[in-house]
Amino acid sequence: MVGFRKKFFLKIIMGTFFIIFLALGMGIMTSTVEAAAKKPSIQVKTTKLSVGESSSISIQGDLLIKIKGSDPIKKVTVKSSSPKIKVTQGKKLNRRNLPRGTIKFKKQGTYKLYITALDDKSRKTTKKITVTVGKKLSSYVKGIKNYETEKGKNISIKNKISYNKKYVKSVQIIGKPNYKKIGSYGVKFKLKGISGDIQWVYRKVKVVKYTYEISVLNNPKYNLYNKTHIWFYIKTKDPDQLDNLYLDCPDNGGHNVRLAAEPVDVHIIKRDDNIVPELMRVKGGYIGNLQFNKPGMNRIRLRKMGESAALCEKKVQVKDYDAAQNNWFNKVISEETGKSMTQKEKMYSLIRYVERNFKYDFNDGGKVVALVGESGAFFENYRGTCITFAQIMRKFADKLGLESRVQYAGYAEHYYAVVKIDGKEEIYDAMIFSSSGRIKNIKYIL
């Protein structure tokens, strides 16, 4: 009986301890579940954001989806790791517990955004987002610029816009110019990136009586150099007189050089010899030629007498003529002569090179004519006259350390080079006949 009672009490004690431990375990689990349930949760569209420089996103629409918790959300803050990201947000939250506001990305780089949600029980959650700021969205869009058009002529700007879809999702054009009235009208371009980031670009559409456009006429196979003729075409319907229009070069003193002959590959309608720089009227506008004193970037402006503002402008990159010419002479001497050759042998080899490779300037039965489409430096188009060839041979002699001069032959405006070798003067007269430059068929460029 005593043993039975001991066993009975032992079972009661063990049962009691089991109930206590079970209650404690359930209490701990309940507390953990409750604590986890009460902690706010932040749902974002992405934790790795790629945007463009100078763009912005909406906190509600592009960054956050919703914030929730068991207890009411008291406060939500969005902070940046750098002042190069500007966060502007309101205090009020919408029904998804999201604040209004925008985030602007000022400069390229990699940054962090921290979103923190705080509830009424002072429990908070922080979410980190990595932001990569790349090039401006506008750098992936072509066709965003100031436009100019004649009165009554509409521009379909939308058809002129193209963009890289890897970075830009859409381009929206806002603004309606009045093409029937002369004036300047603002146009906004809304660029949307793949992450929803927005960049605004502002431009103008100018409605004018006449439009003007400058383009280079020289053949693109030849480089543009200072000290050489560069031809420009001014496209316009302006019927103004030639003495009212002129080209100028504000950067490094470009100037016009009179030609020995009119260009024959353009249809000249009217020419005015009394103005500098020279303009010639052609179909659809005018042409003119300039030479620049120095290499580098040059601005060409079309202006009208008595008006301060330029009608139009174009930038032209001009290479260094002297440097390019010097390199050409060195290259030819290196390829056509050798150390074992005498000075006389070297000069002979060089004049043979000139005779093999050069042709006479374009001409029509002996009369030299100009071709705009073939205008260029002699060391690229390989054309010239007798004085060109004489100067080439003199330069070769100078490079070889020989005394030389250009000599007039005394007839037919002919010139040749005289070079002193071993105390004796030698004549170097390149035998290049004018027939090598005779024009058979003229290909008009205008």
The model's pLDDT over 134-147, given as tens digits with 9 standing for 90+, comes to: 999 999 999 999 99
Rounded mean pLDDT of the chain?
A: 87
What angle is formed at CA 135 by the lines to CA 130 and CA 136, rounded to 5 degrees? Answer: 110
164's CB contacts (< 8 A; 6+ apart) are 140, 141
Q: Which residues pair with 103 in a beta bridge?
A: 57, 87
User: What's the mean pLDDT in 424-430?
Assistant: 94
Nearest to 276 by CA among 261, 295, 262, 290: 290
Query: Can you tell me the distance from the alpha carbon of 198 to that of 334, in angstroms, rounded to the nearest whole number?
Result: 58
pLDDT at 197 over 80: yes
pLDDT at 345 over 80: yes
pLDDT tens figures, 174-190:
999 999 999 999 999 99
| Sign of the alpha-carbon torsion through 132, 128, 192, 170 | positive
Which pLDDT does position 283 carry in this prediction?
86
Phi, psi angle pair for 72, to nearest 5°: -55, 140
Which pLDDT does position 275 carry in this prediction?
42
Q: Are strands 367-368 and 312-318 parallel, antiparallel or unpaired?
A: unpaired
Q: How far is CA 60 from the centre of its chain?
A: 35
**What percentage of residues in the chain have a pLDDT greater than 90?**
63
Which pLDDT does position 242 carry in this prediction?
64
Q: What does pTM read for this prediction? A: 0.66
Least confident of 48-57, 200-209, 241-250: 241-250
Phi, psi angle pair for 155, to nearest 5°: -115, 125
Which pLDDT does position 435 carry in this prediction?
86
Structure tokens at 3: 């043993």
Which pLDDT does position 7 carry in this prediction?
58
pLDDT tens figures, 83-135:
999 999 998 999 999 999 999 999 999 999 999 999 999 999 999 999 999 99
pLDDT tens figures, 231-281:
999 998 888 766 688 888 887 666 655 555 678 888 888 665 544 446 788
Which pLDDT does position 268 carry in this prediction?
80
